Chain A
Amino acid sequence: MAVNPETQGYLLPCGRDVETVWERLADVAAGRGDEHDLTCPDCRDARASLNALRDVTGELVADTTEPAPHLTGRIMSAVRAEVRRRHDMLPLPTTEPGLVRISEHAVAAVLRFAADSVAGVRARRCRVHDLRVRAADPGGGEESGPVLVVELSVAVSYQSFAWRALDLVRERVAAAAVTRIGSELHRLDLIVEDVYGA
């Protein structure tokens, strides 16, 4: 084996190292090889091997081997087990004696979904607060829904975004708050934080 562990490259018996042969592959293939390239048997053999490696590298790149189908499920159940069950619960309106509460995450998901339905808009960050909780009235008002203060950031499509779309976002988010969550949208702060090209 033409290996000198002290040098970075691997020397062929002819004195060139493999990396040089590799870098010259394209030139030689294009007919721009020098005298040594064209006559040296060591370089010729190395080129054949390097070409074989390049071909098989292409196979690796094109490889579409997937993990077992249940892996996504395994990952996601581990993730869901960690989803924080925090104190960010909002009371929902109910006439029954029991409490109904919804997490701020769930409210955010519903509102993001409503914003997404507007063409050229993608909802990103969504922060939700209940005004009544803020107003230090945590126990009261189980019979009326939460009064939401929402901060929503969106990315808009470079091609299809029009200013009017933000009004539509406002409308749909407000509608979703009422019809889906049974809450009033007191205030919505919209932030266009990015554009995306489709």
Chain B
Amino acid sequence: MISRAGTPSGAQTPPADVAPDDSRLDDTTLVVRARDGDVRAYEQLVRRYQGPMFRLAVRMLASRGDAEDVVQEVFLTAWRSLASLHEEAAFVAWLYRMITNRCLNVIRDRHTTVDVDLAQRESRSPGSRPERTVEVSEQLAAVTEALQRLTGEQRACWLLREVHGRSYEEIAQAVGVTTTAVRGRIARARAQLTEMMAPWR
């Protein structure tokens, strides 16, 4: 029992007590515990939010491998800097902001790399078909491809708003622009996506 909290394998055997399963605890409780150094509480947060964070990253980067790397980095960074998160309830917004920033950095790095290395560009340009493991419909495949032709910031704004339902204020903070600029980027993204998916002329 005592060793449970300290063993790396992390308490797979269910204890006899009636304590609630961590998976039913609210976010704030888990965040407070995690900040206290409770690894199991943090694992619960990881399990709860790695899905949406991964889906954002994979749509941003069109690569499962890169997306998983970003998700791993962000959850590790979040663990290290939990102490600086003063508002526990803001944990999810904080994760979205870090994922967005990290993805935009990866995209910027790719652009730097393509200037240097053309071969790399071949393997990463949108035309070379991103890894296709997520598309269940043709329309979905089309929008995934179309998304990659937007700028990183447009893509982030559109995904955060339309797919992940985040507020304009939160998106503005995540991307580092004004809410007016966010609305503009979303409008532009919407127009371009519509056009690329099914040209109206």
Instruction: List residues of A whose CB falls within 8 A of some B CB.
Output: 1-2, 8-10, 12-13, 17-19, 22, 42, 45-46, 48-50, 52-53, 55-57, 59-61, 63-68, 71-72, 74-80, 82-84, 102-103, 105-106, 108-110, 112-114, 116-117, 122-126, 153, 155, 180-181, 194, 196
* Residues in B whose Cβ lies below 8 Å from that of A108: 5, 36-38
Q: Is the CB of A8 within 8 A of B187?
A: yes
Q: Is the CB of B194 within 8 A of A112?
A: no
Q: Is the CB of B200 within 8 A of A46?
A: yes
* Residues in B whose Cβ lies below 8 Å from that of A63: 55, 134, 136, 140
Question: Smallest Cβ distance from A42 to chain B, in angstroms?
Answer: 7
Q: Is the CB of A10 within 8 A of B191?
A: yes
Question: Smallest Cβ distance from A146 to chain B, in angstroms?
Answer: 12
Bound CA–CA A109/B169 (angstroms): 37
Q: Is the CB of B36 within 8 A of A125?
A: yes
* Residues in B whose Cβ lies below 8 Å from that of A124: 28-29, 32-33, 36
Say whether chain B's binding surface is mostly helix, strand, loop, or mixed: helix
Bound CA–CA A55/B39 (angstroms): 40
Q: Contacts A76-B39, A116-B20 given; 5 further ones with Cβ under 8 A? A: A18-B190, A67-B71, A68-B68, A71-B71, A109-B38
* Residue B67 lies at the interface, judged by CB distance under 8 Å to chain A: yes
Per-position contact with A for B41-82: 1 when CB-CB < 8 Å, else 0? 011001100110011001100001001100110011001100
Bound CA–CA A114/B20 (angstroms): 10
Q: Is the CB of A18 within 8 A of B5?
A: no
Bound CA–CA A77/B25 (angstroms): 22
* Residues in B whose Cβ lies below 8 Å from that of A61: 163, 165
Q: Is the CB of A196 within 8 A of B26?
A: yes
* Residues in B whose Cβ lies below 8 Å from that of A82: 76, 79-80
* Residues in B whose Cβ lies below 8 Å from that of A17: 191
* Residue B1 lies at the interface, judged by CB distance under 8 Å to chain A: yes
Stretch at the interface among B11-19, B111-119, B120-128, B149-157: B11-19
Q: Is the CB of A196 within 8 A of B29?
A: yes
Instruction: List residues of B whose CB falls within 8 A of some A CB.
Output: 1-6, 8, 10, 15, 17-20, 25-26, 28-29, 32-33, 35-40, 42-43, 46-47, 50-51, 54-55, 58-59, 64, 67-68, 71-72, 75-76, 79-80, 133-134, 136-137, 139-140, 142-143, 159, 162-163, 165, 184, 187-188, 190-195, 197-201
Question: Smallest Cβ distance from B4 to chain A, in angstroms?
Answer: 7
Most buried by B among A17, A55, A65, A78: A65
- B164's nearest neighbour on chain A, judged by CB, is A61
- B4's nearest neighbour on chain A, judged by CB, is A109
Q: Is the CB of A105 within 8 A of B38?
A: yes
Closest 6 CB pairs of A and B: A109-B5, A45-B200, A10-B191, A116-B19, A18-B191, A124-B32
* Residues in A whose Cβ lies below 8 Å from that of B188: 8-10
Known: A82-B79, A117-B17, A122-B29. A76 touches B43 (CB 8 A): yes
Q: Is the CB of B200 within 8 A of A66?
A: no
Known: A79-B42, A125-B32. A52 touches B197 (CB 8 A): yes
* Residues in A whose Cβ lies below 8 Å from that of B201: 1-2, 13, 42, 45
Q: Is the CB of A76 within 8 A of B10?
A: yes
Bound CA–CA A108/B15 (angstroms): 16
